[in-house]
Amino acid sequence: MSYKILEGKKGIVFGALDKKSIAWKTAETIVDSGGEIVLTNAPIAIRMGNIVELSKQLDSPIIPADATSVKDLQNLINKSIEYFNGKIDFVLHSIGMSVNVRKGKNYTDLNYDWLTKGWDISAVSFHKLLQILHKSKAMNEWGSILALTYIAAQRTFPNYNDMAENKAYLESIARSFGYFFGKDYKVRINTISQSPTLTKAGEGVKGLDGFLKYSEKMSPLGNASAEDCAKYIVMMFSDYTKKVSLQNLYHDGGFSSVGVSQEIINSI
Ligand SMILES: NC(=O)c1ccc[n+]([C@@H]2O[C@H](COP(=O)([O-])OP(=O)(O)OC[C@H]3O[C@@H](n4cnc5c(N)ncnc54)[C@H](O)[C@@H]3O)[C@@H](O)[C@H]2O)c1
Among protein residues, the one with the nearest Cα to ligand 1's atom 24 is: 95
φ, ψ (nearest 5 deg) of residue 21: -55, 140
pLDDT of residue 115: 98
**Overall size of the chain counted in residues:** 268
Percentage, residues of the chain above pLDDT 70: 100
> What's the rounded Cα separation, in Å, for the pair 113 and 109?
12
- pLDDT tens digits for range 7-28: 999 999 999 999 999 999 999 9
Reported as a pLDDT band with limits 50, 70 and 90, residue 34 is very high
List, in order, residues 6 or more apart from 238 with CB less than 8 Å away: 5, 6, 9, 33
Counting from 1 in the atom list of ligand 1, the atom nearest the Cα of 51 is 39
Q: How many alpha carbons fall within 13 Å on the CB side of residue 242?
A: 8
Closest atom, ligand 1, to C-alpha of 194: 6
Percent over 90 (pLDDT), the chain: 93
* Angstrom distance (rounded) from CA 246 to CA 195: 20
Confidence of residue 1 (pLDDT cuts 50, 70, 90): low
The domains found in the chain, sorted by start residue, are 10-267 (3.40.50.720)
* DSSP run (H or E) holding 133: helix 125-135
Q: What integer is the mean pLDDT of 114-132? A: 98
Residue 151 in contact with residue 107, Cβ under 8 Å?
Answer: no
For residue 209, the surrounding DSSP H or E stretch is helix 208-218
Which numbered atom of ligand 1 lies nearest the CA of 149? 7
Q: Is the pLDDT of residue 110 over 90?
A: yes
Average pLDDT, the chain: 96
d(CA 55, CA 106): 37
Give the pLDDT confidence score for residue 18 in this predicted structure: 96
Per-residue model confidence as pLDDT tens digits over 177-235: 999 999 999 999 999 999 999 988 888 777 888 889 999 999 999 999 999 999 999 99
Is the per-residue pLDDT at 83 higher than 80? yes
What residues line ligand 1, using a CB cutoff of 6 Å? 14-15, 17, 21-23, 41-42, 45, 66-68, 94-97, 121, 148-150, 194, 196-197, 199-202
Cβ atoms of 99 and 161 within 8 Å: the answer is: no
Evaluate if residue 107 carries a pLDDT over 70: yes
What end-to-end distance do the CA atoms of the chain give, in Å? 41
**How far apart, in whole angstroms, are the C-alpha atoms of residue 49 and residue 59?**
17
pLDDT of residue 203: 81
